[in-house]
Structure 1
Amino acid sequence: MTETPDEVIRKLRLTMLISLRGAGRFIDINRNENTKINHVLSTYMNNIDFGEDVDSYSKYMGKIDNSLMFESNQVETQEEKDAKEVAIEDWANKYDWSFFEEEMMNSVEKRPSSHLVLKYIKETARLEFLSAIVIKKALPDLKVVANYKADDQGIPFSTASGGRNNQIGADIDVFENEVHAILEPTISKQRSFQVEHELPSIRNHVLESAKKDVADSNHYKEWFSLFIASNISRDVGDQSELIRQTNGVKIYPWDIVDFVNYSQNVRSIRDYKKIREYAMPQKMPGM
C-alpha cells in the first residue's frame, strides 16, 4: 500500500482481471473473466492467520492455483473481438496523426507515456495497439483484427501469443476485398533480431494464413505483410527480397515515422506495397 497508484494499477493489470474505465481514470473488474473473479472472491476473501508458522505460509504461497491460469490457445468470444474493434475505431477517430507518431516512438524507445491509458500498457503491446489504430485511421473501411489479449474495453494486456497450439500467431490481420494483409510491429531495433527472428516468423505467418484461407475456401486471393519497425537495416531489405524470391511471400518493411506519415494519404491497403529507399536490397555495382 506504500506504492504509487500507477504502480498498483500496473500490478493489478498483470492479473488480467482488471479493466480500465473512464479513459483510464477508473478501474473495474474485467467482465471477460467473471469466472476467475468469482473464484477469487469465493476462495481468497478471508485472510489466513499463519501466526509464526513460516513453513505453512511458504507452502501456501508457493501453490499454483490452476483455476487462475490463462491458456494461450483460449478461443476469444465474439464479444471480446467486438470490444477490440470498437476500441481501435474509437481511438482512430479521437486522436490525430502526431499523437500516434509520438506514442509509437515512445514505445520503441521504451519511454513512458503520459497518456492515462497507454502508460499502463507494456511497450510491445502498446505498439501493436497503436499500429492497428493507425491502419484503421488511414483506411476506415478496413476490417482490422488485432490478436493481442485485451480487457472488456478492448485495451491490451499483452501482445499476440505467437504461432503455437495450432494458432497462426500473426499480430494484426487486415482484410480489404480480396486482400488479407498482416501487420507485424516490433519494438526491437536490433538488426539481428529483425532479420533472424522477425522476418522468418512473418514469412511463416503469411504462408500459414494463405494456406488456411485456401483450405477454408475463403475469398482472399492476395496475401502480404507490412513489417513496422524503427532503425530498419539494409539486411532487412536483403532478407525480405530473398524471402520473396524463395517463398513467394511479400514483406514490405516500413519505418514507424514513415508509416504514420504515409498513412495519411492512402486509399487502399495495396498502397503500402512499396519498397522504401531504406529497405532497398543491396546490389553489386553495375547491376
Structure 2
Amino acid sequence: MRSRKAESKPLSFSTTMRNPNRIVRFLNCLLPYENQVLTHDIIMKVIYNAIKQKLYTPVIVRRTPDLACILKSDDEKYSDAQIDFIIERSPQRHKEAGFEYGWDSRFDTIFKLPMEFGFVKYAMGEPIRISTTGHMLIDAINGKEPNEEKIQMVFLNSMMKYQSNNPYRKNANSNVPLILLLQVLRLLKEDAEENGAGVFRQELSLFICWPDNNARSLYEKIKEIRNTVGYSYSDEYMYEICLELLGASDKQRNRFKLSQICGEAVDEYIRKMRTTGIISLRGHGRFIDYNAWEIDKIDYILNKYSEYRAFETKEEYFEYIGEVDAAIIKMKSAVPADTTDLRKATLKKFAAEYSKEEIYLELCKVCNKTASTDYMLKLLPGPVRLEFLTSIAMVQNFENLDVMPNYTVDDEGLPTNTASGGKADIVCSDKEYQSLIEVTLMCGRQEQVHNEIIPIRRHLVEEKKNQEKTFSVLVAPIIHEDTKQIAEWYKFKEDLDIVPYDIERFLKKIKRENKIASLLE
C-alpha cells in the first residue's frame, strides 16, 4: 500500500492521557501480555480490563442508569455480564492504519501516545514490548507510595528525545518540542530587551506549528510579534500566523481549528512540558519559563540533545526514546533545603488575588471533576489542585492561622506534586490548636479507610506526642459512611479527633467560622 505523504500539522498530544498516572494504569492493563504476540483476543482482554477499572468509559455507560451509578461509585464494580454488555453495545466506529475497524483501532488510539513516548511498542502479529522506561514508570506508581520524582525523571527522559516527526506520525514539521522550547527560552533570557519572564502563553501556538528546529528564527518571530502588537492580541491574530506557518490549504483551514491551535493544544503542550519538572509557570500561567532549580539538567539536555538524528523506522525510534539516560536520571535538583517561606508567600499572593468565592467555586469544580477555565489552575492535576486550593481557602478564611502545605513546589512556589507519604497534606496551627488537614478525591470505602484514615491516625498519634492539642481533618468530595464510623471508633478507643468533611459541608463550615477549633465541632 502506498504510504501517505507527510503534511505540516499542529503538534498535538492525546487528551485521553493527560495524567501520568492514567498512562501507567493503562500500561498495567497491558503488562500481563508483555512479550505475547498482539492479537484481537489480547486486545479485547486489555479493553475488558480497562473498562473494568473504569479507565475507559464508552458512551453506553452514562446512558444506562445502573451502569452510570456504578461508574460514579468508587466501591461498586461492573459484573462480567455488564462488561460484556458494554462492549457489545459499543461498536467503535474507528479505523487506524494497521488495525481492523472497531475495537482493534480503539486500542491503538489509547496506546499510541505511550508508544510515541517510548514506554511500549506493539503491532498486530508482533510481540508486545514494554521498554525500560515503561517499567520504571510502572514501578514508580505501583509501589506503596507513588515515587513522584522518579515519574518526573522518566517523563523528562522521554520528552528530551520526543520528536514531532517521529515514525508514528506523518508530520512534515520536524523538531524536538522540549529542546526547541529550552533553546528559545535561553535566547529570550540573553536578550537585554526582554524581562526574563519567558514565553507568553499565546506564543506557544507558534511552537505547536513551527516547521523545524530553528530556534533563532522562532525567537525572531516572537520578537517581531512583541514589537508589533506586544502581548495584547486576539487568538484570531495568532491563528492566522500559525496557518501561514503550516501552509494550510482551504481544506486544512477547516480541519485545523482555532480552538485547537490556540486552546486545547496549548494547554496540553504546557501539561506535557510540566511533567518534566524543568518548566515553571509565571504570572498566573500567562508565561512559561525555566525552573531555575533545574539549570544543571537544562544545560545537560541542551549540550547533549540539541543535535539529534531523525529516525526512519519505528524500531530505531523505540530503542532510542525508550533507553534510559543514566546521567539525567541521577541528576539532582538544586531545590533549597527549606522552601517554607516561598510556599507561604505564594499562598498569600493567591489568597489576595482570588476572591473567596472564586476559590470555593474551583474547589467544587475539582471535587465534581468539572473542568476549570482558570489559566493556571486548569494546568494542575486534580489531586495537586485540591491541596493547593484547600491551602488557599484556609489562608483566606481563618484569622492568625499558620498554613503550611507539604506539596512539592517549583521555583515560583507553585505545586508540582502532592505531599509525599509520611506527612500531612497541610499543617495548620494557631495559638490554641494544630490541625492536620488531609484532602483526597477518592470516595470509595477501600481508598478512604485504608489510604486515608489509617495513615491519618498514625500521623495524629505521632504529632500529639509533640503537641497534645492536635486534631485531624479529612476533606473529600463525598465521605463514605464507614469512614465516619471508623473516625468515631478512633475517638472512642484512643480519644483521637479525626473529623471527616465532604466538600459541601467543609465549605459551609469555613464560610461562617474564623477559628480552626471550630472544625472540631
State the TM-score, normalized to the length of structure 2. 0.46
Q: Does 1:209 align with 2:209?
A: no
CA distance in 2 between partners of 1:9 and 1:96 (Å): 26
* Structure 2 residue aligned with 1:157: 416
CA distance in 1 between partners of 2:330 and 2:419 (Å): 14
CA distance in 2 between partners of 1:254 and 1:41 (Å): 48
CA distance in 2 between partners of 1:187 and 1:19 (Å): 25
Q: Does 1:44 align with 2:291?
A: no
CA distance in 1 between partners of 2:472 and 2:305 (Å): 46
* Structure 2 residue aligned with 1:64: 324
Q: Does 1:8 align with 2:8?
A: no
Range that drifts further, 58-67 or 24-33 = 58-67
State whether residues 138 and 263 of structure 1, in contact with CA within 8 Å, keep that contact through their aligned partners in structure 2. Answer: yes
CA distance in 1 between partners of 2:500 and 2:362 (Å): 20
* Structure 1 residue aligned with 2:517: 270
Give the 3-state SS of the residue equivalent to 1:264 in structure 2.
helix
Give the 3-state SS of the residue equivalent to 2:339 in structure 1.
helix
Residue type of the alignment partner of 2:464: A
1:94-105 matched pairs, under 5 angstroms? 94-105=353-364
Identity of aligned residues (%): 31
Give the 3-state SS of the residue equivalent to 1:27 in structure 2.
strand
RMSD over aligned Cα, in angstroms? 2.5
* Structure 2 residue aligned with 1:237: 484
State the TM-score, normalized to the length of structure 1. 0.81
Q: Does 1:181 align with 2:439?
A: no
CA distance in 1 between partners of 2:483 and 2:330 (Å): 35
1:179-203, CA deviations, whole angstroms, 9 ceiling, x for partnerless residues?
Answer: 3311101112223322332111211
CA distance in 1 between partners of 2:330 and 2:425 (Å): 19
The alpha carbon displacement at 1:169 in A equals 2.5
CA distance in 2 between partners of 1:111 and 1:67 (Å): 40
1:68-117, CA deviations, whole angstroms, 9 ceiling, x for partnerless residues?
Answer: 44899x99625633222112111112222221222112112222210000
Q: Does 1:30 align with 2:291?
A: yes
* Structure 2 residue aligned with 1:108: 367
- Over 3 Å counting, the alpha-carbon distance change for 1:200 and 1:114 in structure 2 is same
CA distance in 2 between partners of 1:138 and 1:113 (Å): 22
1:48-79, CA deviations, whole angstroms, 9 ceiling, x for partnerless residues?
Answer: 35566x6554333222234444899x996256
* Structure 1 residue aligned with 2:394: 135
Q: How many residues align?
A: 260
The alpha carbon displacement at 1:178 in A equals 5.2
Which one has more relative contact order, counting CA pairs under 8 Å at least 6 apart? 1
User: Which structure shows the bigger proportion of residues in helix conformation?
Assistant: 2
Q: Does 1:223 align with 2:470?
A: yes
Gaps of 5+ in 1: 163-167, 215-219, 275-287
- Over 3 Å counting, the alpha-carbon distance change for 1:9 and 1:75 in structure 2 is closer
CA distance in 2 between partners of 1:208 and 1:48 (Å): 55
User: Which structure shows the bigger proportion of residues in strand conformation?
Assistant: 1
- Over 3 Å counting, the alpha-carbon distance change for 1:34 and 1:209 in structure 2 is farther
- Over 3 Å counting, the alpha-carbon distance change for 1:131 and 1:55 in structure 2 is same
* Structure 1 residue aligned with 2:493: 246
State whether residues 294 and 334 of structure 2, in contact with CA within 8 Å, keep that contact through their aligned partners in structure 1. Answer: no
State whether residues 108 and 188 of structure 1, in contact with CA within 8 Å, keep that contact through their aligned partners in structure 2. Answer: no
1:247-282, CA deviations, whole angstroms, 9 ceiling, x for partnerless residues?
Answer: 3321011121222232133232111112xxxxxxxx
1:114-145, CA deviations, whole angstroms, 9 ceiling, x for partnerless residues?
Answer: 00001100111110101111111112522211
